[in-house]
Structure 1
Amino acid sequence: MGNQPAGDARRDRHPWDRRRFGQLLAGGAVLAAGGVLGRRVLAGDAATPGDPDGTGPVTLATGKDTAGYLRGVLDGWNAAHPAEPAELVELPAAADEVHAQLGGGNGRFDVLNLDVVWTAEFAARGWIAPLEEAQFPLRSFLPPVLSSARFAGRLYAVPYVTNAAMLYYRSDVLDAVGEHPPSTWAELARLSATVAPAHGLAGYAGQLSPYEGLTVNVLEAVRSAGGDVLGTDGMPVVDSPQARTGLEFLADGLRAGWIPPEALRYQEEESREAFQSGRLLFLRNWPYVYPQAASPGSAVAGRFGVVPLPGPHGRGSGVLGGSALAVSRFSRRQRTARALIAYLSGRDVQRQVLTRGGLPPVWADLYEDPELLERFPYLPVLRDAVLAAGSRPGIPHYQQLSLALSATSYEVLLGRRTAADGLAALAGDLRDVVR
């Protein structure tokens, strides 16, 4: 979404309040009137649908483009389509504000740049129009990115930017002691507990503040251990031995001290700064960190590398981030909107997504381009991370699921309850969300 580092719905920190969560359920803020999951559609807005065959000037609404590259991309479209120019509308950086302005059903915007976790909700509420798959170069994309673009068996959004986390490590420190970067949780814990303090460093950190980032970190750990939050039938399966193993891995790291307590306050930027300033041996974060950590003036420039996230017995499971482009169902110029999406998802623009925007593209062959590999040496690791990653639950009420998961997990990480107790209670909360 825009150029946010995670490509994920980054929200404000929120304390866990079980009474408030119950009030949300009872008051209908979680469950829309008449709305359920699966193939049934939530009650949408009463606004009049737009024109599927309309053409003319269109708007592209997105979160803040912090890299400042999108206007240049649209210049290429506008030069070739003077009768159908595209205007960029940048919304506030906060994901909640973007969500509020893109949703609700209105004709202000034609093309919506959605966080991948919003596709199901927007489709279920009738805010975006279904798309014909043949109009877009989907076969050229990395296969996992399509998983969050469909709802109820139909394509509702076209992947534009992807994202998957990597493990950053201090190569100079590991080389000095003859160690390789960790490929398992046990190796990560050992190196973090022994090598890091011997070199005046903290061990490992991710994003453990109670927000969307914690949801993603916990989901990665749970899936790496063989568990999940929802099953294939859409019902909660989070109260399982595998899920407990994943959450306990993080909680144990905090208790043992190889995950520093400061990590409980880290979002993406705080954790990046800790690694980039030379205070961490290992960091779980998104690809946007790489060019910043390698830039002149960085304390770790030329002294770090990246590998896939580890798991209990080998490579761990990642979680996909990124954004996708959708057509507002209320747009009066939907034919032009679809053509603009085809342009933005084409190979030339996808190359610019990386070279000018610094964001991971969705086209598979760009990850093997020799020129790009020389400029972005982390691309092979990133490609493997995306291919091994899975989507977050594609449900209309994802925001409520994430709130419950991150808040309960935070209580466990703080030591206020056990993983077994927390996940058992969470399973009950989620049954209320998905029923």
Structure 2
Amino acid sequence: MVTLPRRRFMQGSALAAALAAAAACSSGSGSSGSSGGSGGEVAFEGTGPITWVQGKDNSGGMVQKRIDEWNELYPDEKVTLIELSAEADQQRQSMVQNAQTNSEAYDVISVDNVWVSEFAANQWIVELPADELKNDDIIQPVWDTGVYMDRFYAMPFATDAPVMFYRKDLLEEAGVEVPTTWEEVTAAVDAVRALPGHENIGGFGGQWAKYEGLTCNISEFIHTAGGAFYDDEGNLVINTPETVAGVKAAIDAFSGDYIPTKALEWMEEDGRNAFESDSLLFYRQWPYQYANNLENLGTDKFDVAALPTIGGNAFVPTLGGHNCAITTNCQNKATALKFIKWFTSEDSERYALDTQTLAPILGSLYEDEEMLEKFPYLPILKDSLDAAKGRPQAVAYGDVTAAIQDAVYPELQKGGSAEDAVAALESRLKDLA
């Protein structure tokens, strides 16, 4: 095993403690000022206009409507929404470029939880006053996504774990039950394909284009098979029979045409469009899709279930989600912190669930009677969150995810060798050490 250098990984309690001790030598903390992107004391001062920067809003303008409510309450602290690409990789690139050019265009940014370590280590975001933001209702693993070196840098506003959307109407027409195992998934696909007019329907879709979605999807196959990328101390442990088995299961699913070849070009919305146009039976997807399906399909045609076991192993979803972070160059940090508190309040979390079906950070909303009546899948989502596992918490996460994609994607394309994919990935990750 290869031990990764501390500048790249923060896994393991001993390693995190050592890094935190080093950081403490040059910075302070407190509720009114904290160490952060600048490496020194940061006061949460300055009120006035700020920007909220996130990926493309697929909710039909519901984010802007919520921001309009803020702007009515606080007209002297106006928030302007900046929408970036719908693709996670391009969102990250835009934010990195903004930080590297010392631009003041971005104030509060929506960071994927796997970017927190990178953005904090590179001093692009500031430490937040944890004592002003934490409450007992926040799901602990979700809160932990905002921590780097025992310091809190990014407040979660939406968590995420995938579920299985399925075409209820087509399963009923074929006379099959909702599958709970991969074997039942493939049998259901065969049964629906036997129906007139559905001979070529796609089976089990996911986001397999060569971008962050591929990392999430292949991580699930690897983790479900019992494999891993790194252990808790940050040691590389990728080349194991379990990891090979996970990659092989994915390759075989493509070769057997149960994951459609078209999925190698799919990001989130591509697969959703296929699902809603009678071209896909099952879709591994984030819960935000529920609102779109309600509008475009109706409850008679779709439903949500837990993702299937694979090889007898319970499915291990990838923990997703986004966090609010304040950029180092933000000039109105008092307003930025005030906005984060408002944007992650119970009212805002309820609004985001109600209007965008974003997974809330508050455990109580998964048991809320009003929300359960509107969104009966919430217990399934909560189970998925409880079972979820994060991607590698790397400071150089962009390099790590690129290595995963570069090693795995070609073998998926050609129905190649899982052993070759894992060996290539091990070599690439060693080169990053």
From 303, 308, 311, the counterpart of 2:309? 311
1:244 paired residue number: 244
Please state if 1:73 is matched with 2:66.
yes
CA displacement, residues 202-222 of structure 1 (integer Å, 9 cap, x when unaligned): 322212221111111100111
CA displacement, residues 85-110 of structure 1 (integer Å, 9 cap, x when unaligned): 14224043242453235532444433
CA displacement, residues 145-188 of structure 1 (integer Å, 9 cap, x when unaligned): 12321111111111011121111122233334543222222222
Please state if 1:354 is matched with 2:353.
yes
Alpha-carbon distance between aligned partners in 2 of 1:53 and 1:173, rounded to the nearest angstrom: 55
User: Does structure 1 retain, via aligned residues, the 8 Å contact 2:37–2:125?
Assistant: no
Q: CA RMSD in A?
A: 2.8
CA displacement, residues 4-33 of structure 1 (integer Å, 9 cap, x when unaligned): xxxxxxxxxxxxxxxxxxxxxxxxxxx99x
User: Does structure 2 retain, via aligned residues, the 8 Å contact 1:203–1:280?
Assistant: yes
| 1:110-121 matched pairs, under 5 angstroms | 110-121=107-118
Alpha-carbon distance between aligned partners in 1 of 2:137 and 2:247, rounded to the nearest angstrom: 36
What's the CA shift for 1:288? 2.1
1:420 paired residue number: 419
User: Does structure 1 retain, via aligned residues, the 8 Å contact 2:47–2:333?
Assistant: no
Identity of aligned residues (%): 30
What's the CA shift for 1:427? 0.8
2:95 paired residue number: 99
User: Does structure 2 retain, via aligned residues, the 8 Å contact 1:78–1:86?
Assistant: yes
Alpha-carbon distance between aligned partners in 2 of 1:237 and 1:352, rounded to the nearest angstrom: 41
1:341 paired residue number: 340
CA displacement, residues 124-148 of structure 1 (integer Å, 9 cap, x when unaligned): 0111111232211442122331232
Alpha-carbon distance between aligned partners in 1 of 2:204 and 2:346, rounded to the nearest angstrom: 37
Distance 1:232 1:363, change over 3 A: same
Alpha-carbon distance between aligned partners in 1 of 2:37 and 2:360, rounded to the nearest angstrom: 36
| 1:389-404 matched pairs, under 5 angstroms | 389-404=388-403
1:12 paired residue number: none
Alpha-carbon distance between aligned partners in 2 of 1:393 and 1:51, rounded to the nearest angstrom: 29
Distance 1:187 1:203, change over 3 A: same
What's the CA shift for 1:248? 1.0
Q: TM-score, normalised by structure 1?
A: 0.83
| 1:377-396 matched pairs, under 5 angstroms | 377-396=376-395
1:9 paired residue number: none
Amino acid at match of 2:91: A
Q: Structure 2: give runs of 5+ residues left out of the alignment.
A: 11-15, 24-35
Aligned residue pairs, count: 397
| 1:106-255 matched pairs, under 5 angstroms | 106-192=103-189, 194-199=190-195, 200=198, 201-255=201-255
User: Does structure 2 retain, via aligned residues, the 8 Å contact 1:50–1:331?
Assistant: no
Deviates more, 1:284-293 or 1:58-67: 58-67
Alpha-carbon distance between aligned partners in 2 of 1:228 and 1:96, rounded to the nearest angstrom: 25
Distance 1:177 1:197, change over 3 A: closer
**SS state at 2:359 partner:** coil
**SS state at 1:181 partner:** coil
User: Does structure 1 retain, via aligned residues, the 8 Å contact 2:174–2:192?
Assistant: no
User: Does structure 1 retain, via aligned residues, the 8 Å contact 2:46–2:332?
Assistant: yes
CA displacement, residues 347-389 of structure 1 (integer Å, 9 cap, x when unaligned): 0111111223342221221122222222223222222222221
Amino acid at match of 1:128: I
Distance 1:426 1:399, change over 3 A: same
Q: TM-score, normalised by structure 2?
A: 0.83
